[in-house]
Amino acid sequence: MSRRTVVSYEPDSTTSTFSTRSNGLPTTRNSLAGKRIGNHSNDVVAYFHDEEVGNYHYGERHPMKPHRLTLTNHLVISYDLHKKMEIFQPRRATEEEIMSFHAADYIDFLKRVTPENMNNFSKLFTRYNVGDDCPVFDGMFDFCKIYSGATIDAARKLTNGSADISINWSGGLHHAKRVEASGFCYVNDIVLGIFELLTYGILCFKHSLVL
Ligand SMILES: [Zn+2]
């Protein structure tokens, strides 16, 4: 069964009571809601970073620079922020997880195309919107699996109640469509993260997912 088929937003009795906070945002009262966000020094922050993720390269003139993730991580360490967070090495998303949103033929294309063999796939470039904004680059699908796995794991930290805030700088590639790349994005980790939240019937207004 794919993940998508098990996703439904049917809050059970522990998650269905909504109230309104003073800022107007609804909040859930559930088993995770023991801690209120207010004093951030008490929040449990889960930080997901994969050393590999900054090594991927979209191409010399491309404005998307994954290397900035490495620089950001250096800043985090330089400022000792890692001592205030729980640090996690994210796992890679599985193809099954990715295909809970994306079409199998599109993922098969992402998996197989490389800079070396891309001429054999040129007829599919228009169909999957691969080209200038979304170039084929070395390790492209591995890059997708890394940032997507981190987002799913980050969301899971919220759904299982072990963190108040989850951070994955490498995520947020929200332009990717079900059957095509768009705006530097190939796999839409935001959708996958939302699926994870919805699997547990929780809309995390109280908790923060930073992507
Ligand atoms: Zn994008």
Mind spelling out the 3-state secondary structure of 66-108? Answer: CHHHHHHHHHHHHCCHHHHCEEECCCCCCHHHHCCCCCHHHHH
Taking the chain (211 residues) in runs of 10, the rounded mean pLDDT of each run is 29 32 35 47 91 96 96 98 96 98 98 98 97 96 98 95 95 98 98 91 59 72
- Domain map (residue ranges) of the chain: 44-210
- Contacts of 48 by beta carbon, 8 Å cutoff, 6+ apart: 88, 89, 90, 150, 153, 154, 166, 167, 168
CATH of domain 44-210: 3.40.800.20
The whole-model pTM stands at 0.78
Residue 106 CA to ligand 1 centre (angstroms): 17
Catalytic residue among 57, 174, 175, 207: 175
Tell me if residue 207 is catalytic: no
Q: What integer pLDDT is reported at residue 18 of this predicted model?
A: 30
Distance 82 CA to ligand 1 centre (A): 28
Ligand 1 center–CA 67 separation, angstroms:
16
Q: What is the pLDDT of residue 210?
A: 72
CB 151 within 8 A of CB 190: yes
**186 C-alpha to center of ligand 1: Å?**
8
One-letter amino acid for residue 51 of the chain: E
Q: What residue ranges in the chain does DSSP mark as E strands?
A: 17-20, 26-29, 45-48, 86-88, 165-167, 208-210
CA separation for the pair 171, 159 (Å, rounded): 18
